[in-house]
Amino acid sequence: MSHPRRGDRSRRTGTRSVPRLALIVGGVLVITLIIVITILSWRHGESHRLPAAARFASASPTGLPTTDMRRLERALNSPSRTAQAAALVPEEREAFLATGESLPSGDKFVINQSSFNQTGSLSAMVTATTSHGTKWTLLLYWENGKWYITTTMEGV
């Protein structure tokens, strides 16, 4: 009677032997596929957490809407520092309120809507003039469907 050789399982079990390399390659492919699907799902889900303006460049206007211009002028001309801070991007509000700074009192800011210059898909600049004739450049950022001031530069 012949005995099966030690490494030959096909004779003992009657099944076909699957090479170990094929099992290893198959396992690696399955793990790689799971990782790729997880990454793609995570990236897709994260894009939905971005503000709409960041997801769609067309969501930012090509000009300064009158409603935004009036809102910014009201905030700049308010004697209240809290109202002035409302014109700033959210990231700058706390810092502005903590410094004790405020815009020059008694000056009335008028934004020159025709000076609006969009410098990026979510950024722009516009000039404003005070009642005393001082020119300011306002750097704007589009966030949550509105233009906000990021920086002001006097005399520019």
**Residue-level pLDDT at 73:** 95
Upper half-sphere CA count for residue 48 (Cβ side, 13 Å) = 5
In angstroms, the CA 72 to CA 148 distance is 8
Instruction: Give the count of beta carbons closer than 10 Å to the beta carbon of residue 72.
Output: 24
This prediction has a pTM of 0.60
Give 103-151 pLDDT, tens digit per residue. Answer: 766 779 999 999 999 998 899 999 999 988 889 999 999 988 899 999 8
Q: Average pLDDT for residues 11-22, to the nearest whole number?
A: 61
Per-residue pLDDT of 38-90, as tens digits, reads 665 554 444 344 444 444 444 556 789 999 999 999 999 998 889 999 999 98
